[in-house]
Amino acid sequence: MALPVALEFERPIAELERKIEELRAVEGVDLSDEIGRLEKKLTCLKREVYGHLSAWQCTQLARHPQRPYMLDYVALIATEFQELSGDRCFGNDKAIVGGLARLDGRPVMLIGHQKGRETKEKLARNFGMPHPEGFRKSMRLMRLAEKFGVPVVTLIDTTGAYPGVGAEERGQAAAIASSLYLMASLKVPIIVCVLSEGGSGGALAIGVGNRVLMLSNAVYFVCSPEACSAILFKDAGKAPDAAEVMCITATDLFKLGVIDEIVEEPLGGAHRNPAQTAARLKEAVLRHLDELAGLGPEAITVQRYERFRKMGEFIEVGEATSGNL
């Protein structure tokens, strides 16, 4: 079995894994005791490292080159997936993929970002950064889902909407705003899942849901730590510091009420066991769909509206009481 690509902070783990694999490859000698001892040491090391990840380390894991993408999850959790293409206006943006599918027999509309792995696919999918036609395609599919009473499940994984001149000329900001407006008023349940990176308007454009779930090593931000560092500190090299103060991890966002549930990944990240990660994600999505099933169309939109209105609530403390704080 090929070992996963090791990030900088994972090197001690990778070295131990490599040593275990080398011992397993030795023939004619019983090394089971030594292998068992090293495996116990490896488990303890993983718990120590992955149990105390910084925000920057989470960002690195979210960007891991072997991490599952949207279509990987679709293959693992859905059946009868039928991709639907085009915005009926300009073209088909491959950075956003969508279509009808079934989750344990339940019809859903799946919509998400797809980054691509090999260079050719990355270019074809624009590294998962949608153009306006991508958001218009997703809106078309959402309206289709509403027409037939099918829930919408979105899978977010993007560094952001494409900022190029062509995208701006075709109405990038207007497309994002229109998508936000549509999702706020859609009369079917919407479950949002942040798989890896949830970047800026590119993520939020398909991120307005009745429930927002997030994988435990994913990050969700208004701009990348590198961009924030360049703006605030005039130094992109201070991205780790920026990541710590931006509150971009699943734990931070759950405490702030931005997301509703953290879906735990296997120890070491989703790329170490994609099937297990997908099973946990599927269970969470179906559970939330069951909880929303009893709400009528109007109640669905009211619940979604109130959910987002609660963000940023604060209490003003009068002069008489402020001195006692």
Identify the pLDDT of residue 131.
96
- Residue 56: predicted pLDDT: 95
Long-range contacts made by residues 100-108, C-beta under 8 angstroms, separation at least 24? 100/150, 101/74, 102/78, 103/77, 103/78, 103/153, 103/282, 103/285, 103/286, 103/289, 104/282, 104/286, 106/151, 106/286, 106/289, 107/150, 108/78, 108/150, 108/151, 108/152, 108/153, 108/289
Residue 112 pLDDT > 90: yes
**The pair of three-digit structure tokens given for residue 228, joined into one six-digit string:** 């924030």
CB contact set of 170 (below 8 Å; sequence gap of 6+): 90, 131, 132, 133
Global pTM reads 0.89
Alpha carbons 219 and 199: distance in angstroms, whole number = 8
Would you say domain 59-309 falls under CATH 3.90.226.10? yes
Provide the pLDDT confidence category of residue 317 given band limits of 50, 70 and 90: confident
Q: Residue 324: what pLDDT?
A: 47
Least confident of 24-28, 81-85, 219-223, 300-304: 24-28
Average pLDDT estimate for 196-210: 94
Q: What percent of the chain has pLDDT over 70?
A: 96
What's residue 325's pLDDT? 45
Is residue 320's pLDDT more than 60?
no
Structure confidence at residue 5 as a pLDDT band (50, 70, 90):
confident
Of 177, 185, 184, nearest to 201 (Cα)?
177
Q: What string of DSSP letters covers 41-73?
A: HHHHHHHHHHTT--HHHHHHHHT-TTS--HHHH
238, pLDDT greater than 50: yes
pLDDT per residue as tens digits for the range 241-283: 999 999 999 999 999 999 999 999 999 999 999 999 999 999 9
In the predicted structure, residue 285 carries a pLDDT above the cut 60: yes
